[in-house]
């Protein structure tokens, strides 16, 4: 049986901590899978509801837009509510919405069934990251958060092929049943195994929003937008790159995308260890490692073997980047963790929006290979942003030392 003891707002789970983190990880997988899994079946949805593929893509873009808006606002609104209660609410809404999607009679109903749970996406994910990070001693926080990020990576990448398989082999409705089943099972597990997690330190809304007054926080948000923009600026067109540049078959492309997702998970595990031991060096080295990998893909991406090896490396680095992004913002927002994780989700979604948009313009002007140039440009700007962030941190430490 789980029980919780709170001290200065931190949660210290004395028993079955690994079970809680497992439930949170699967819960995040279910929610991310609901968001991203539908990407692979947009043509099927267009045919099912007699709409165009661009119209069907509103199921993805509208969801992402709502997440970006709700990122900082919804965790703030629910920041004083028992965290178990909020988790149950979010999972319940996702489960019900997916059940509605199974029986949707029109595209409008399906779109509404997507938009409503999107507003609760940041609540669950931000609180899952917060609970995982505060359920262990401070020095193990990054490692615990990295385990939850396995759910993020799995939902974002593995959810697409799984959903596509179910929809194509059985039906669209059955793929929605899959979404509902995952969220429903996690809801049941949360009700049974997760203890009550009251908020013992009730921060005012003003104090939580006050983290935005820190220059380091603002620079961190920009850094996350740039890093995520770089990763998704290329990843969004990876299948097209493998098709038009590497000249792989559609079956091979699907396999490489699956491998990319699995290596993301490896990157999550590695990130938990290296951020725990040396976060500053990891943050600074990451964009250089990504620039090198992107440059090698640019020059050698037409060679199948080289492309496969480099994409495996990129997948690992992308998994590390996801954890680094969360760490960048949480480091300067530890006094308001839920709000800060909401800011992380908003910044990450903005990067996911801007990166593909800018890199897509380069495809129009040149060709698919030049998405890599766009990604490298994002990374060069991120290096400048990281240097500024470190400089501001050093100044603050010096000022504090003088005061003392």
For 252-263, write each residue's pLDDT tens digit: 887 887 888 889
Q: What is the pLDDT of residue 394?
A: 62
Domain boundary among 157, 175, 202: 202
The tokens for 265 are 């998970």
pLDDT greater than 90 at residue 276: no
Q: What is the pLDDT of residue 396?
A: 57
| Percent of all residues in the chain with a pLDDT value above 70, rounded to a whole number | 91
Mean pLDDT of 67-74: 85
Give pLDDT tens digits for 19-45: 888 898 899 999 988 888 887 677 788
Mean pLDDT of 205-211: 76
Neighbouring residues of 388: CB distance < 8 A, sequence distance ≥ 6: 219
pLDDT greater than 50 at residue 128: yes
Domain boundary among 174, 202, 230: 202
Same domain, 186 and 215: no
Same domain, 300 and 370: yes
| Percent of all residues in the chain with a pLDDT value above 90, rounded to a whole number | 35
Q: What is the pLDDT of residue 402?
A: 44
Give pLDDT tens digits for 304-326: 999 999 999 999 999 999 889 98
Closest residue by Cα to residue 326 from 145, 154, 152? 145
- Of 57-66, 318-327, 367-376, 393-402, minimum mean pLDDT range: 393-402
Cα–Cα distance measured from residue 34 to residue 40, given in angstroms and rounded to the nearest whole number: 12
Give the domain CATH number at 374. Answer: 1.20.1250.20
pLDDT greater than 60 at residue 343: yes
pLDDT greater than 60 at residue 272: yes
Structural domains counted in the chain: 2
Same domain, 148 and 236: no
Domain boundary among 184, 202, 220: 202
Same domain, 53 and 122: yes
- pLDDT: which is higher, 315 or 149: 315
Helices (H) and strands (E) in the chain, counts: 17, 2
Same domain, 308 and 174: no
Mean pLDDT of 205-213: 78
Same domain, 30 and 178: yes
Same domain, 80 and 93: yes
The tokens for 117 are 């749970």
Q: What is the pLDDT of residue 3?
A: 34
Same domain, 107 and 245: no
pLDDT greater than 90 at residue 68: no
- pLDDT: which is higher, 394 or 226: 226
| DSSP bridge pairs for 321 | none
Same domain, 131 and 212: no
Task: Please check whether residue 314 is in contact with residue 291, taking contact to mean a CB–CB distance below 8 angstroms.
Answer: no
Mean pLDDT of 163-188: 89
Q: What is the pLDDT of residue 205?
A: 65
Same domain, 286 and 403: yes
Mean pLDDT of 71-100: 90
Mean pLDDT of the chain: 84
Q: HSE on the CB side for 25, CA within 13 Å?
A: 20
Q: What is the pLDDT of residue 331?
A: 85
Q: What is the pLDDT of residue 401?
A: 39
pTM, two decimals, is 0.76
pLDDT range class, residue 404, cuts 50, 70, 90 = very low
Task: Please check whether residue 117 is in contact with residue 94, taking contact to mean a CB–CB distance below 8 angstroms.
Answer: yes
Task: Please check whether residue 226 is in contact with residue 381, taking contact to mean a CB–CB distance below 8 angstroms.
Answer: yes
Same domain, 69 and 128: yes
pLDDT range class, residue 99, cuts 50, 70, 90 = very high
Per-range mean pLDDT, top range of 12-16, 206-210, 386-390: 386-390
Enclosing domain of residue 140: 1-202
Q: What is the pLDDT of residue 194?
A: 85
pLDDT range class, residue 14, cuts 50, 70, 90 = very low
Same domain, 314 and 172: no
pLDDT greater than 60 at residue 47: yes
Mean pLDDT of 189-199: 87
Q: Please give the radius of gyration of the chain, using alpha carbons only, rounded to the nearest integer.
A: 21
């Amino acid at each position: 049986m789980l029980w919780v003891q709170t001290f200065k707002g931190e949660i210290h789970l004395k028993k079955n901590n690994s079970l809680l983190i497992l439930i949170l990880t699967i819960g995040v997988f279910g929610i991310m899978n609901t968001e991203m899994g539908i990407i692979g079946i947009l043509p099927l949805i267009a045919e099912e509801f007699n709409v165009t593929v661009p119209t069907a893509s509103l199921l993805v873009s509208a969801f992402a837009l709502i997440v970006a808006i709700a990122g900082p606002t919804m965790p703030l609104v629910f920041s004083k509510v028992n965290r178990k209660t909020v988790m149950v609410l979010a999972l319940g809404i996702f489960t019900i919405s997916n059940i509605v999607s199974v029986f949707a009679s029109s595209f409008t109903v399906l779109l509404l069934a997507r938009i409503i749970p999107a507003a609760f996406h940041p609540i669950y994910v931000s609180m899952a990251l917060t609970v995982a990070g505060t359920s262990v001693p401070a020095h193990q926080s990054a490692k615990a958060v990295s385990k939850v990020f396995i759910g993020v990576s799995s939902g974002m990448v593995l959810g697409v092929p799984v959903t596509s398989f179910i929809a194509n082999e059985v039906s669209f409705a059955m793929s929605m049943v899959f979404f509902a089943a995952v969220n429903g099972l996690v809801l049941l597990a949360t009700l049974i195994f997760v203890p009550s997690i009251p908020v013992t330190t009730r921060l005012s809304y003003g104090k939580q929003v006050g983290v935005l007054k820190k220059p380091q926080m603002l620079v961190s948000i920009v850094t996350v937008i740039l890093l995520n923009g770089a990763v998704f600026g290329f990843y969004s067109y990876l299948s097209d790159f493998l098709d038009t540049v590497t000249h792989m078959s559609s079956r091979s492309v699907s396999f490489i995308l699956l491998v990319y997702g699995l290596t993301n998970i490896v990157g999550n595990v590695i990130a938990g260890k290296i951020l725990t031991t040396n976060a500053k060096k990891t943050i600074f080295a990451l964009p250089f490692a990504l620039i090198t990998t992107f440059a090698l893909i640019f020059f050698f991406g037409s060679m199948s073997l080289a492309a496969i090896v480099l994409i495996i490396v990129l997948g690992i680095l992308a998994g590390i980047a996801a954890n680094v992004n969360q760490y960048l913002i949480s480091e300067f927002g530890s006094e308001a963790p839920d709000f800060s994780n909401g800011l992380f989700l908003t910044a990450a979604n903005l990067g996911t929006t801007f990166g593909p948009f800018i890199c897509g313009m380069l495809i129009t002007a040149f060709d698919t290979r030049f998405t890599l140039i766009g990604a490298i440009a994002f990374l060069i700007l991120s290096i400048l942003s990281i240097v500024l962030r470190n400089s501001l941190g050093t100044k603050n430490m010096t000022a504090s030392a003088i005061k003392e």
